[in-house]
């Protein structure tokens, strides 16, 4: 016999899964609550038990996507042998992850439009931007990049990578990911402390 808590969790997971699938395929604006509850096999009442609105469900889906990207970036970076390689690999992993349709649509296109720029930035700062700031701080502490304020550098690099990710979502250029990662590597290398 399934417990009420397990049943509630299954309902919530079903709503998140189907919401994510529909938001990815059709975009937030084109998806109705009726579509989501029908796909999830639940009632609107069940949806409202877990989420206050369609935007609230979207916010939860976005948080899930951002957390997955952050985990993927961290795992890729952690597999590298030194701080600089970790930094570059993590940045490359972000661009690679951003080529996934769910990441493009939910995190980069609909996220800012649905939640507004300020809320989207707050969510981004809690995941990707926080990890980027930590990596930059570690590089400064290791004297691999010159001492400097971390916040503006984090925003500059985050903005550049988000813009590159949006470009990757719309381009048909052959090997766009590879050439973008090469350009990013050159940009990152320009930050390094010169060696004598």
Question: How is residue 93 written in tokens?
Answer: 């992993």
Give tens-digit pLDDT for 110-155. Answer: 999 999 989 988 888 888 888 899 999 999 999 999 999 999 999 9
To the nearest whole number, what is the mean pLDDT of the chain?
A: 93
Residue given tokens 């916040």 in the structure block? 151
Q: State the pLDDT at residue 196.
A: 59
Q: Percentage of the chain surpassing pLDDT 70?
A: 99
Q: State the pLDDT at residue 122.
A: 86
DSSP state of 33: H
64/16 Cα distance (integer angstroms): 9
Q: Percentage of the chain surpassing pLDDT 90?
A: 77
Q: Is residue 188 over pLDDT 80?
A: yes
């Amino acid at each position: 016999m399934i417990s009420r808590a397990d049943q509630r969790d299954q309902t919530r997971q079903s709503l998140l899964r189907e919401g994510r699938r529909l938001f990815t395929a059709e975009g937030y604006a084109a998806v109705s609550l009726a579509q989501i509850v029908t796909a999830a096999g639940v009632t609107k009442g069940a949806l409202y038990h877990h989420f206050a609105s369609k935007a609230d469900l979207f916010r939860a889906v976005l948080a899930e996507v951002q957390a997955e990207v952050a985990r993927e970036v961290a795992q890729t970076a952690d597999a590298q042998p030194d701080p600089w390689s970790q930094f570059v690999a993590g940045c490359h992993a972000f661009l690679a992850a951003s080529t996934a349709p769910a990441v493009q649509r939910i995190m980069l296109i609909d996220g800012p439009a649905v939640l507004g720029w300020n809320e989207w930035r707050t969510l981004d700062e809690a995941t990707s931007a926080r990890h980027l700031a930590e990596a930059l701080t570690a590089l400064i502490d290791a004297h691999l990049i010159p001492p400097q304020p971390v916040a503006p550098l984090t925003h500059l690099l985050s903005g550049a990578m988000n813009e590159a990710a949006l470009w990757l979502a719309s381009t048909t250029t052959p090997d766009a990911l590879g050439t973008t990662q090469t350009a990013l590597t050159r940009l990152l290398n320009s930050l390094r402390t010169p060696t004598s």
